[in-house]
Structure 1
Amino acid sequence: MTGDVVRFERKRSVAVVTICRPERMNALNREVFVRFGLLFESIAEEFWSDVSRSPRSIILTGAGERAFSAGADLHEILEVCRCETGLEGVRKIIESGRRALRSIEECPIPVIAAINGYALGGGCELALACDARVARKGSKIGLTEVLLDIPPGLGATVRLPRLIGEAKARELILTGKALDANEALSLGLLNDVSEPDALLESCIRFAEELTKAGPVGIAYAKTAMKAWLCQPQVQKEFECELEAFLEALMKGEALKRIQRFFSAIPAPKGSLPKTHF
């Protein structure tokens, strides 16, 4: 059901969802977004049809040791910009990403981001859509899009201020600064920081704490806490962000910076492809 780029596993009452693109540092492309949407919609349907058969919590992580997700797959963005569909093709990718993140937010089961390395750009935005975030020591978390002359496009300008406050959200978004795990914890961006070799175990312990509460009560608490997402003004904010992203992509230096980013990094034999930021 989830294909090769996204893996779903059950560990007792906990489910683990893994982005399986370690060769590209788990860069987010259209296929990943579509798989996420299908998976989390299916999980929600199963929960409401038979709570007793559903996992009580979900851990979302990235394959390999280097990254939760280092961001959007910029190779895909460049290729789409070069083809006939151009801007409309990019719009479809971003809209599929927004739908995927919304399906995570609307999942009745708590979702915990297990950040195992880089969570930059779109990877950080993915983590923001989760209910909680735990990172291992040494991880880097940030909304780095402005360093490529584009704003965030998956909802971070709406979500981050509500999580850590307007002032700090502006600072992080406008500077593109990447935080280490302890800095992110101090700002409230993370719920916990684990030892490097104990991330999954820490997340499972965190998740199992949730089993002490009733699953239906948790589901409706999530519904109440996310009610702001359905407000017309908030929907307008999401739409404004999307249009700002697309305009910046075409009017600024984003495409040139992306191309320079790839060309400036040598690719020795056995290295990871340059696909993301």
Structure 2
Amino acid sequence: MSYNNIIIEIAEKVAVLTINRPNQLNALNSETIKELGDAFKSLESDDNVKAIIITGSGEKAFVAGADIKEFYQFDVAEGKELAAKGHQYLFDVVQNLTTPVIAAVNGFALGGGLELAMSCHFRLASDNAKLGLPEVTLGVIPGYGGTQRLAQLVGKGRAMEMIMTAKMISAEEAYGYGLVNQVTTQEELLASCQKIALKIVKNSSVAIASAIRAVNAGYTDGVNGFDTEIEEFGKCFGTEDFKEGTTAFIEKRKANFPGK
């Protein structure tokens, strides 16, 4: 599949997905959102991909925000549809993907860019990164999950402050908030993400998918995360990966998971 705004490279079962709109600081327009959603679904179904890293092209921005020119004249109904489609096509897709997704935040992650990073399973940032949700300066609020995911990640008080002041925080502040897992230099960012991804791909992809579903359940209204954990735990016992993992442990060898 060919794309206009993204580049995909796959090596050692790790896919690197790069948003490639450097002249627009990788801003998310409707075409890019659609391409990203399609790409994530395609990579999830690829048996040769066990982890995904998403980043932005260039050294200035991961994603500097949404493309305001596309929606500044929208009315109420069109605004609601814009947010709903974004959730459906991309942001919820990433959060619920059963292949782990790591955000490599290489610069500005603002508005929709931070919302995209937060929908990933975890995040690493370069030391020049700036993160924020500046939507209230435009008379609107985050509409791609930002009000919900930011509060889940950093707590209600900090989320309220970031959203209401529209302030950008540094990578080090984001690390202190628990918004990113690690801060590296710009040069080391992708290699650090690759190092983590290569650790992930050695483990059972079936168990990892179960873990993602169980963790996400705890943040889903009307769902008991503990019940989901019990259900997913039990399902693991019927997999080939469980048989291989436990047998390898008993035989004191490294497991070779079939991913089934």
CA displacement 1:156-177 (0-9 Å, x = unmatched): 1111111111111111111111
Q: Which has the larger radius of gyration?
A: 2
Q: Distance in 2 between matches of 1:87 and 1:181?
A: 35
Corresponding residue SS for 2:71: helix
The number of residues matched between the two structures is 222
- Cα deviation, residue 230, structure 1: 4.8
Corresponding residue SS for 1:226: helix
Residue matched to 1:268: none
Q: Distance in 1 between matches of 2:41 and 2:219?
A: 17
Given residue 38 of structure 1, which amino acid in structure 2 is its aligned partner? D
Corresponding residue SS for 2:38: helix
CA contact under 8 A between 1:6 and 1:18: conserved in structure 2?
yes
Structure 2 residue 107 is matched with structure 1 residue 113: no
Q: Distance in 1 between matches of 2:63 and 2:156?
A: 25
CA displacement 1:222-244 (0-9 Å, x = unmatched): 011112465359xxxxxxxxxxx
Residue matched to 1:94: 83
TM-score (norm 2): 0.80
Alignment of 1:7-26 (within 5 A): 7-26=7-26
Structure 2 residue 62 is matched with structure 1 residue 60: no
CA contact under 8 A between 2:59 and 2:186: conserved in structure 1?
no
- Cα deviation, residue 96, structure 1: 2.4
Given residue 98 of structure 1, which amino acid in structure 2 is its aligned partner? H
CA contact under 8 A between 1:122 and 1:154: conserved in structure 2?
yes
Higher relative contact order (CA 8 A, sep 6+): 1
The verdict on how the C-alpha distance between 1:36 and 1:228 changes in structure 2, with shifts beyond 3 A counting, is: farther
CA contact under 8 A between 1:26 and 1:69: conserved in structure 2?
yes
Q: Distance in 2 between matches of 1:214 and 1:131?
A: 17
CA displacement 1:37-70 (0-9 Å, x = unmatched): 22222233x25xxxxx231210001111110000
Q: Distance in 2 between matches of 1:158 and 1:148?
A: 19
Given residue 216 of structure 1, which amino acid in structure 2 is its aligned partner? V
Q: Distance in 2 between matches of 1:228 and 1:35?
A: 29
CA displacement 1:98-154 (0-9 Å, x = unmatched): 121111111111100001110001110110000111111111011111122211111
Structure 2 residue 169 is matched with structure 1 residue 179: yes
Residue matched to 1:32: 32
TM-score (norm 1): 0.76
Residue matched to 1:169: 159
Given residue 6 of structure 1, which amino acid in structure 2 is its aligned partner? I
CA displacement 1:199-253 (0-9 Å, x = unmatched): 11111012112123211100010011112465359xxxxxxxxxxxxxxxxxxxx
Structure 2 residue 193 is matched with structure 1 residue 203: yes
Structure 2 unpaired stretches of 5+: 224-260
Superposition RMSD in Å:
1.7
- Cα deviation, residue 88, structure 1: 3.6
CA displacement 1:10-36 (0-9 Å, x = unmatched): 021210111111110011111111112
- Cα deviation, residue 2, structure 1: 4.7
How much identity, in percent, do the aligned residues show? Answer: 39
Structure 1 unpaired stretches of 5+: 48-52, 234-277
